[in-house]
Amino acid sequence: MVALSEAVASNQRIASTFPKGLVAVFVGGTSGVGEYTIKAFAKYTCNSRAYIVGRSEPNATRILAECRALGPSSTFEFIQGDISLLKMVDDICNKIRAKETAINILFQTQGSMAFSAVTSEGISLAASLGMHSRTRFILNLLPLLQRATTLKRVVCVMAATCEGPIDMDNLAGIGFPLRQRRDQFASAQTLLLEKIQENFADALDIGFVHDVPGVVQSGITRDAEGFGMKVLIGVTNLLGPLIRTPIDECAEMHLFYSTSARFASSKGGAASDGVSLQNGLEVARGSIGKMGSGVYTISNKGEPSPPRVDEVLAGLRSDGTAKKLWDIILVESKKVTGSEFLA
């Protein structure tokens, strides 16, 4: 377990570890974990630049003002768009690529509980946000991550350490119970990060983190469908003060995941892989069961997945599911946009 105090101590050394001018992109950053983390980024960095990508302009306006107060030496910009649409993802990435030559952090939280909805591009809304758009953002921005001269980190917030079986005949999990869908999406997220690292040499010096935030106040439940879900949300709201991860803790831990050398790239060892480790903390065990393997599935306490999850993921690799998943994501991307990712 990584204590909150250890995460805070690490975050307090961000400004002295990295050169001024870190660049971060927060996708889905207009509420919840994305909002909390960008505020922490504003608090602990100097002369940085951050982009908030999302739909809600009123939320973004408020967050930008709060970030500017927390980090007056830094700049913050909102890019509005429906990130469930892959063509819109390309438009947003082109805007970022026109403004920046390199980025240090890509932080993604987009998701939806509107499980029966389908986008105008013909993809399940939940699957588009949870798999397709996340993967396309990474691939489109991979050249900018690679050009960074210091920290290179991708963080995807979903349901890490809950990985389970994947039904390739129902990748969107239509009709699945909530837990089964959660576990399937969790496996897909981790495996897709592994495939990016495996298939692109440029990704070998990037640290990839898939984490679960615990129960947090966020906007993901706003589109939840069905009476059962509404009851579950009501119970969760009722018990909120007892079970929710406090906002400050959520912010500190996610900035820690974004900047600490505990989640170093597969090359590892370089100071540029993150804020150095203290107080006995070590580089984490990766999703393939190897220390410092570069892709991590992390609990809300900063700990790697248990052996049960390692076995599930190993089975999905060995039976070809991981490759099939990767191929489907690329085929769908090319079908919608005309290319697997931006050149």
For 157-207, how does the pLDDT look when each residue is reduced to its tens digit (9 = 90+)? Answer: 999 999 999 999 999 999 999 899 999 999 999 999 999 999 999 899 999
Percent pLDDT > 70 in the chain is 91
State which H helix or E strand residue 154 sits in: strand 153-157
User: In 3D, which of 323, 327, 333 has the Cα closest to residue 191?
Assistant: 323
State which H helix or E strand residue 238 sits in: helix 227-243
Q: What's this model's pTM, rounded to 2 decimal places?
A: 0.94
Q: Where are the beta strands (DSSP E) in 4-140?
A: 23-27, 49-54, 75-80, 105-108
CA-to-CA dists, residue 153 to 75, 103, 108, 252, angstroms: 20, 9, 11, 16
For 62-105, how does the pLDDT look when each residue is reduced to its tens digit (9 = 90+)? Answer: 999 999 999 999 999 999 999 999 999 999 999 999 999 999 99
| Residues counted in the chain | 343
Angle between helices 321-337 and 133-147 (to 10 degrees): 90
Kindly list the strands in the beta sheet with 23-27, ordered across the sheet, starting from the edge strand earlier in the chain. 75-80, 49-54, 23-27, 105-108, 153-157, 207-211, 295-298
Domains of the chain as residue ranges with CATH = 4-336 (3.40.50.720)
